[in-house]
Amino acid sequence: MPPYDEWNKIDEEEEDELQDLSHLESKKDVILFCIDCSESMLELREDPNDPKVKTCHAYTALDAAMQIQKKKVIVGPNDLVGILLFNTTRKAESTSRTQGSEIKRNCYVYQPIGPLSAPKIQELIQLLDAFREDPHELESNFPPMTDGKRVPMGDVFTSCNWVIRDGAPKTATKRVFLITNEDDPHPGAGSKQLKNSSRTTLIDLTQAGVTVEPFFISTPDKPFDVSKFYSSVLLPDSLVDEDDVDPADPSVLPESISISRIEDLLMQMRFHESPKRALFSIPFELAKDFTIGVKGYSLVTEQKRGSYKYFFDLGERMEVVTTRTVYVDEGRQAEVDRTKMVYGTSGGTGAEGEDPGKRVVKPGQRPFYSAEDIKTFRTLGREPGLKLLGFKDLSELEFGDNVKHSNFIYPNEMSFSGSKRTFSALLKSMAKKKKIALALGVTRRNTTPMFYALLPQEERVDEAGWTDPAGFHLIPLPFADDIRSAAVERGARASESVKDAARAWIDKLSVKNGAYPPDSYPNPALAFHNAQLQAMAFGEEFNPEEFEDLSAPDLDMIHRRVGNLVEAWKRAVANDEAAISFETAKKEKEKPAKAGTKRKADTDMDMDVMETEIRSKFSEGKLNKLTMDQMKPFIKSKGMSVSGKKKADLVAMVEELLTS
């Protein structure tokens, strides 16, 4: 049986039971970096980033592996990683049978597959640092096979198979990142046989549930031609995930990644770093009796800072404490069987003599609902699936209609054949007509049906070589219950001239063909946290001064470009007639009501004048002479709250504002 069937099955089972995404995190991911250590991979070359040091392909590959490990240790602390080198004459030291001790000749397990830890990553960092000191470090550690000899690729795949068999849990997603620059490992005599054995062993590997993701290094002096060897060896699923395997259709060549600039290796690996896992696989009903299959993926998910865990000291190690919630009948001091629980409104009937926590009824009466009832209330009996309701203009998808992140759907040929072309035709038609689709959907069992807008995305390749895949973005729409009314319905509006003054600086800060660039903004809070965590794990000092927040606005650039324009705009705002008349009108209106009350400080008072006065009192050390009504607007103008503050507090706040 092909392995993907098993995977699909696991997927289904989990879908039944779990409602959140935690199963994705709980499923372990195993990556075995399989790095070619041939002479050409070890050949020293200039480092384009730093002319003082040398580099080589193998170094870049190991460095990329280290970077991936550093990321994985934070994002997927339970994931397993290993490194296997091939085309090296180094042999395993240990004679006892451990992982990687019994593999094919000229393959060497540098890091056995295992959980990540600080020492494991540090070991690799030390190796990389040693190479930077002495460029022969890698060659002496892992001597390459000489005289153009190469290990048969079949042996490499078999070794990978054995290492993964010994080191990886059965249910994990297992992948081999194959990194090589040799497009024709077996030229000349016997090539056909070696090709065949490569393919056979690769099939074995695939059947063990392992995906091979090749990263081919192609340079101007050594271009990589996939058709020489790999196109007849690689299986169609080597780059796409389990849902796209179509063994019956060998006519389609798998895509493979050729890296023309070795510096891009890390970036390409990052694209493939997290295994592609479908969140859901559901039918999509376009009309009655007209259904296709789709799989949903989460392309945007908030990556949260890991929270602390509770540990228990077991002596030899610290172990994470797991929690379990139990429901207790206080009266009997006993834990309650969950299957016997029923659900309803809290509190009793309030009838005389009744305990508010209890409810007494006659036998046979049923005042509460069962867990099953509650489920149907939530789903109204709908099974997972998408149902098309119709099409609307793209402009109907409003900016404000957003509650949470979208998912991405892609056809699933395995559940309904013909899904791909139907999906493709629908996508093209909607993109052409600038339409969105409206659908009712339940993506996971026991969740509430929601309305979704389906936003078509056509395939598009960007400059960086990244391809926007073809598919639909499934955007959840808010329910009426989620929409809040505007609290402010009236406000003073700017005159034409003030708007023009704002336009002047907006023009200067606009990027002509720009867009929001997610890649430019690594989450600073997350990075700050992770940097501290890494330093603590490595036993290093963390220096917050060195931390750079890449999301902070470039203040110098802003001032250079628009400082004067902003100043002019501020003057225009202060003199805006609408503001003045609106304020006067408001006062007129409020007069009768406010008659007799203490006059408030004039909030219209020019901020500059006010600030000057406060600053002068401050420099004289006479802040106490100011009234609260004088200080309040100033503090407020700095964006701080003054409510409930006493005068002494206000003075302290002003002092702080002026000294900082």
Name the minimum Å distance from CB 280 to other proteins: 15
Residue 347 as a binder of other proteins (CB under 8 A): the answer is: yes
Q: Which residue lies nearer to other proteins by CB, 417 or 627?
A: 417
Chain positions 542 to 581 lying near other proteins, rule: CB under 8 A, are 544, 547, 549, 551-555, 558-559, 562-564, 566-567, 569-570, 572-574, 576, 578-580
Least separation in angstroms between residue 624's CB and other proteins is 24
**Residue 524 binds other proteins (CB under 8 A):** yes
Which residues within the stretch 410-439 sit at the binding site for other proteins (CB under 8 A)?
Answer: 410-411, 413, 416-418, 420-430, 432-433, 435, 438
Q: How far apart are CA 383 and CA 376, in angstroms?
A: 10
Q: Is the dihedral of CA 12, 17, 22, 26 positive or negative?
A: negative
Q: Which is nearer to other proteins, 54 or 276 (CB)?
A: 276
Residue 385 identity (one-letter amino acid):
G
Binders of other proteins among residues 209 to 228 (CB under 8 A) are 227
| Burial status of residue 582 (CB atoms within 10 A of its CB: 0-12, 13-18, 19 or more) | middle
Q: Is 235 one of the binding residues for other proteins (CB under 8 A)?
A: no
Could you say which of 250, 592, 621, 644 contacts other proteins (CB under 8 A)? Answer: 250
The span from the first CA to the last CA of the chain, in angstroms, equals 70
Options 482, 629, 655, 656; binder of other proteins; rule CB under 8 A: 482
Neighbour-count burial of 614, counting CB atoms closer than 10 A to its CB (0-12 exposed, 13-18 middle, 19+ buried):
buried
Tell me the C-alpha distance between 659 and 220, whole Å. Answer: 60
Q: Does 601 bind other proteins (CB under 8 A)?
A: no
Beta bridge partners of 334: 329
Using the minimum distance from each CB to other proteins, give the nearer residue, 53 or 74: 74
Return the HEC string of 534-575. HHHHHCCCCCHHHCCCCCCCCHHHHHHHHHHHHHHHHHHHHC
Whether the CA torsion 540, 541, 544, 545 is positive or negative: it is negative
Give, as ranges, the residues between 253 and 272 that touch other proteins (CB under 8 A).
Answer: 253, 255, 270-272
Q: Which amino acid is at 231?
A: S
Site for other proteins in 321-340 (CB under 8 A): 321-331, 335-340
Is 491 a residue that touches other proteins (CB under 8 A)?
yes
Query: How many other C-beta atoms lie within 10 A of the C-beta of residue 321?
Result: 9
Which residue from 48, 77, 190, 223 is in contact with other proteins, where contact means CB under 8 A? 77
Count of residues that interact with other proteins, criterion CB under 8 A: 248
CA angle in degrees (0–180, nearest 5) for 385-387-390: 160
593 forms part of the interface with other proteins (CB under 8 A): no
Q: x/- site string to other proteins, residues 112 to 141, per CB under 8 A? A: --xxxxxxxx--------------------
* Cα separation values, 407 from 110, 160, 449, 476, Å: 39, 34, 15, 9
Binding mask 164-203 for other proteins (x = CB under 8 A): -----xxx--------------------------------
| Class of residue 485 by CB neighbours under 10 A (exposed 0-12, middle 13-18, buried 19+) | exposed
Nearer to other proteins, 74 or 130 (CB): 74
Residues 442-471 that bind other proteins (CB under 8 A): 448-449, 451, 455, 457, 459, 466-467, 469-471
* 208 is a site residue for other proteins (CB under 8 A): no
Rounded CA-CA distance 457/454 in Å is: 9
